[in-house]
Every structure is written in structure tokens, then in C-alpha cells.
Amino acid sequence: MLNRGPSARRAIPSLDRLLRLDAIGSLVSRYGRPLVTEAARAEITALRAALSRSNAHDSSHFDEALFVRACAARLAQETRPSLRPVFNLTGTVLHTNLGRALMPQEAADAVARAMTRPVNLEFDLGGGDRGERDRHIERWLTKLTGAEAALVVNNNAAAVYLALNTLAPRKEVPVSRGELIEIGGAFRIPDIMARAGCRLREIGTTNRTHLRDYASAISPRTAALMKVHTSNYAIQGFTAAVAEPDLAALAHKHGLPFIVDLGSGMLVDLEEYGLPHEPTPRDALEAGADVVTFSGDKLLGGPQAGLIAGRAELIERMRRNPMKRALRVDKMTLAALEAVLKLYSDPQRLRNSLPTLRSLTRPLPDIESQARRLLPAVQAALGDAADTAIVELKSQIGSGSLPVDLIASCGIAVSVPGKRRSAAAAEIAAAFRALPVPVIGRVREGTFIMDLRCLEHEQEFVEQLKHLDLEAKGVNSE
Ligand SMILES: *Cc1c(COP(=O)(O)O)cnc(C)c1O
């Protein structure tokens, strides 16, 4: 090894010489000198390592073109955006790990304008003095929910935090044991309450909580009553929960505010679109809630945000809480949110104008004919390495909404029969993830499944199938 290494290394030209190659020069004009130098250095190191491992005696030959191609590939790989579009064929429409709601072009345009031009973010164009950033969306939110006032923070976790931190510091808030939920991504009601500086008073039992449980928990230490929408699970069987109007009446009898954390705050009744009912902020406020909190990027179909709507005096107190400054949203969020909220003023067109709703209400025959259209292309891309079939599926709304209500859907299943079935399914999933626009499906019982409900860019999906590389993922290996 010792006598082979040094001579092999000598065959590689110096970094300085390589950087003077014309072809490297064109990489420099594309990527800039620092990145190209780094890539060339890494390539040289890799070559040296390969040479000292191999028994190559022809190491005196150095292939410049090959070196440049390797540098170019390395640079392309390293400068590829980390945050990239993917195909969400998981069957979960609002997939938290895939970015939840997709927004309409109007929202994207509004964000681009807000990013590239000065905007009246906190500037009152009438009076010419300081304005309030939340005013841009407050008029829409109050119109759509019937609330007196509204404000916006970074996400619903922040909204719950700000509401409790403002209305119940160092005091108690009774919450039913059946509502002490955890939402994916480490949002736990008890933890948020603790961090908000208020004391959780657990009442009732997991399956049954009665009005008398709330009534007997109320003391001079109580600051508010709170109801949490159990959005990502359902308690079934011998159950009891207290209806919102009763809780509101009890809270108001004791002069306490009633807070409702809705989670997914759809602003219109989903039943009108043939979907399961989901309580709206307006429902909660009409039932007597003083404050309601909900997400911007769940069913509402907008950017990540936490919306708080309710009584003007309580909202004003939250606005003055110094934590509001730490939780405030930026102009991009406001621009996107305003554009999305505006779409709600025309519920007739919402089904088409709001991508989330469009996916959720996509007619089954549409998805089925898409599956029939795509099946031959998928089978062709797989060759005889795997079998494909059209399968009936159930899509989920996702992000904690309506966990027990599934929507009939359709998709393509890919499997490799035989002993290697489950390993092969995982390899097929990996091959689809390795496509230029990664395709994310799910693996169930040794089958890779693509739910087509959310497939909108069909042409792009088909065209990139030619890059499907099953060999690289070991599908064909024994
Ligand atoms: C989703 C959810 C939250 C958290 O909302 P984020 O916007 O993800 O922070 C809080 N409460 C309920 C009931 C939820 O469903």
C-alpha cells in the first residue's frame, strides 16, 4: 500500500492546475469559485482514496473530462434545494410532514408582491402613521366568523399559548381528561398550559365528563373554562362530554371567559361540499365561546398561522401581551392569509379556488379514471420487476381533522409477489422517493400504495417515471 499510494497520487494534477481548466471555469461562472473549489478538492480526495484502495497500475492516466463531470454532478447535488416539491400520494390530504395546505396562485402572487416590494405592513395609509399588522386580515376574519375582533400568530399552538398566557396566568383552567390531547409534532395541551403559566385542573374521566365536574372545579383560583376539540381521535362507546352552550353558560355565570381550541377551523360548513361536518369558529362563537383558536394551514387551506377570534376586549388584551410580539407573523404569512380569506367570500367558487377543498371533494370517478390512465405507464416503468393493480382506498383529511371520517379514493398498488415481498415494497417506495420530484406513497402489508386523490401534475408524474431506478434500490437483486 505504501509504495503504491504515493505514485498513484502523483498522477492527479494539483488543485490549482485543475481549477484553471476551461470546463471548470464554466462551472465557476455558474456556481461561484468557493463552491467549485470545494467540490474539486472533495473530488480529488475521493479519487485519492479510490486509488489507494484499488490496485490500479494505470494510475498515471488522469481523465480530465471525467473529473469535470464528477465535479459538475457534485455541485448539482449540493446546490439542489433542500426544500423541494414532492408528490403527496400518501392518501392524507393535509399531511403535516409534507407541508399541510396547498395554497392558490392568488396567495402565491400576494406573497411574491409582499416579498419584493415595500408594503404597508404596519402603516396606516389614511393617517400616514403607524398601523397594526393584524388589521389586514381582521376584517375578513370577523366577517367570516362573526367575531368582534381577531388576531393572528405563528400557529395554533401559539394561539392557545397566547390566549392562556393572557387570560389565565398563575390561575387554574379546568379541562376535561378526555380532551388532554397530543397533536403530532409535540403539541400537548398540558405542556402548553404549563408553559403558558396556568394550572391545568383535570376534571372528569377519559370517556365521561359532566357539567357538574366543571361546576365543582370552579373556585376563586379559576381563570377560564376551556374546551379542546379532540381533533385527531374519537372517544366512542360509553361517553359523555358537555355541550358548548352549557359550558359557556356556566363560565359566564361565574364571570369567566370560555375558550374553545378548535384545531382545524374550517370557515364554512363542509357538509355543503358533501364532506363530514366539522365545527366552525362561527359555530363555537354562536354557542357562546368568548375566544376561539384555530390553525391557518389545516382545513382553512392557508399558510401556517394561528388565528384567534372572539370578544374585542379579550383580543385586545392578547394584543398587548408582550408575547404577541414574539409570536407575530411576518408579511408573507399575512399576504397569503389575506388572499385565502378573500376566497371565502364566494363559497360557490371555493371548491375550485381552494386547492385543499378541491382535493378533498375530488369526485371518485375522476380519481378512478386517472388510475386507469396511469396504470400502463407505471407498469411500463417497473417492467416485469413488479405487479401493479388499481385498488380502492380511503383517503384521510389529515392534520388531526376528522380522524374517523375517511373519504373513498382510488390508487395504484405495486407489489413483488414472493418471499421478499415486504423488503421489495420498501425498496419500491425508496425508488419512487428517489425520482426527480419524489413520489411519497405508503407501504402497507408488503404493498407500495399510491393514492391518486392529490395528484394534480399528472404530466410531470408520468414523464419522470423513466427515471425510476429499481436496480439502485435493489428491487431486482436476489
Ligand atoms: C392542530 C391542533 C393544534 C395545533 O395547531 P398548529 O397550527 O399545528 O400549531 C392545537 N389544537 C388542536 C385541537 C389541533 O387540532
Question: Given this model, what pLDDT does residue 5 score?
Answer: 47
Ligand 1 centroid to residue 178 C-alpha, Å: 16
- Ligand 1 mutation target, pool 295, 297, 307, 396, most atoms within 8 A of CB: 295
Closest by CA to 207, choosing from 230, 226, 231, is: 230
Question: Given this model, what pLDDT does residue 25 score?
Answer: 93
* Torsion of Cα atoms, 294 then 298 then 303 then 306, to 10°: 20
CB hemisphere CA count around 117 (13 angstroms): 9
pLDDT values of the chain reduced to their tens digit, one per residue, 478 residues = 334 444 545 578 999 999 999 999 999 999 999 999 999 999 999 998 888 887 655 555 789 999 999 999 999 999 999 999 999 999 999 999 999 999 999 999 999 999 999 999 999 999 999 999 999 999 999 999 999 999 999 999 999 999 999 999 999 999 999 998 887 667 889 999 999 999 999 999 988 999 999 999 999 999 999 999 987 677 778 888 899 999 999 999 999 999 999 988 899 998 999 888 889 999 999 999 999 999 999 999 999 999 999 999 999 999 999 999 999 999 999 999 999 999 999 988 899 999 999 999 999 999 999 999 999 999 999 999 899 999 999 999 887 655 567 899 999 999 998 889 999 999 999 999 999 999 999 999 999 999 999 999 999 999 999 999 988 777 765 4
Terminal alpha carbon distance of the chain? 34
Question: Does some domain include residue 478?
Answer: no
Ligand 1 centroid to residue 161 C-alpha, Å: 11
Question: Does some domain include residue 100?
Answer: no
The residue out of 27, 44, 79 marking a domain boundary is 79
Write the CB contacts of 175 (distance below 8 Å, at least 6 apart in sequence). Answer: 189, 193, 200, 201, 202, 203, 226, 227, 228
Ligand 1 centroid to residue 119 C-alpha, Å: 30
- Do 162 and 293 lie in one domain? The reply is yes
Question: Given this model, what pLDDT does residue 360 score?
Answer: 94
- CA angle (223, 228, 229) in 5-degree steps: 155
Whole-angstrom CA distances from 62 to 58, 71, 162 are: 9, 14, 64
- Do 250 and 387 lie in one domain? The reply is no
* Torsion of Cα atoms, 59 then 64 then 67 then 73, to 10°: -150
CATH number, domain of 219, equals 3.40.640.10
- Do 376 and 452 lie in one domain? The reply is yes
CATH number, domain of 462, equals 3.90.1150.180
Atom of ligand 1 nearest to the CA of 96: 8
Ligand 1 centroid to residue 206 C-alpha, Å: 20
- Ligand 1 mutation target, pool 187, 327, 333, most atoms within 8 A of CB: 187
Atom of ligand 1 nearest to the CA of 181: 13
Give 20: exposed, middle or buried? Use CB within 10 Å, 0-12, 13-18, 19+: exposed
The rounded distance, in Å, linking the Cα atoms of 401 and 49 is 53
- Do 379 and 342 lie in one domain? The reply is no
- For ligand 1, residues with CB inside 6 Å are 155-157, 160, 183, 187, 228-229, 231, 261, 263-264, 295, 306, 400
Structural domain tally of the chain? Answer: 3
Task: Determine which residue's CA is closest to atom 5 belonging to ligand 1.
Answer: 156
Task: Determine which residue's CA is closest to atom 10 belonging to ligand 1.
Answer: 263
The residue out of 301, 325, 351 marking a domain boundary is 351
Domain ranges, residue 29: 2-79
- Do 91 and 116 lie in one domain? The reply is no
- Do 111 and 64 lie in one domain? The reply is no
The rounded distance, in Å, linking the Cα atoms of 471 and 463 is 19
Task: Determine which residue's CA is closest to atom 6 belonging to ligand 1.
Answer: 156
Ligand 1 centroid to residue 403 C-alpha, Å: 14
Task: Determine which residue's CA is closest to atom 13 belonging to ligand 1.
Answer: 263
Question: Does some domain include residue 75?
Answer: yes
Write the CB contacts of 106 (distance below 8 Å, at least 6 apart in sequence). Answer: 339, 340, 342, 343, 353
- pTM for this prediction: 0.91
Task: Determine which residue's CA is closest to atom 15 belonging to ligand 1.
Answer: 263
- Do 151 and 184 lie in one domain? The reply is yes
- Do 24 and 132 lie in one domain? The reply is no
Task: Give the start-end residues of each E strand in 106-205.
Answer: 123-124, 129-130, 149-153, 172-176, 182-183, 187-188, 199-203
- Do 211 and 301 lie in one domain? The reply is yes
Write the CB contacts of 41 (distance below 8 Å, at least 6 apart in sequence). Answer: 15
Q: For residue 116, report the phi and psi dihedrals to the nearest 5 degrees.
A: -105, -5
Question: Given this model, what pLDDT does residue 477 score?
Answer: 52
The rounded distance, in Å, linking the Cα atoms of 156 and 295 is 5
- Do 116 and 257 lie in one domain? The reply is yes
Atom of ligand 1 nearest to the CA of 295: 7
Task: Determine which residue's CA is closest to atom 11 belonging to ligand 1.
Answer: 263
The rounded distance, in Å, linking the Cα atoms of 467 and 464 is 6
Question: Given this model, what pLDDT does residue 383 score?
Answer: 93
- Do 282 and 410 lie in one domain? The reply is no
Question: Does some domain include residue 67?
Answer: yes
Ligand 1 centroid to residue 468 C-alpha, Å: 37
**Other beta carbons less than 10 A from residue 382's beta carbon:** 19
Task: Determine which residue's CA is closest to atom 3 belonging to ligand 1.
Answer: 263
Atom of ligand 1 nearest to the CA of 159: 9
Task: Determine which residue's CA is closest to atom 14 belonging to ligand 1.
Answer: 263
Question: Does some domain include residue 414?
Answer: yes
Question: Does some domain include residue 206?
Answer: yes
Ligand 1 centroid to residue 262 C-alpha, Å: 8
The residue out of 329, 351, 373 marking a domain boundary is 351
- Do 191 and 334 lie in one domain? The reply is yes
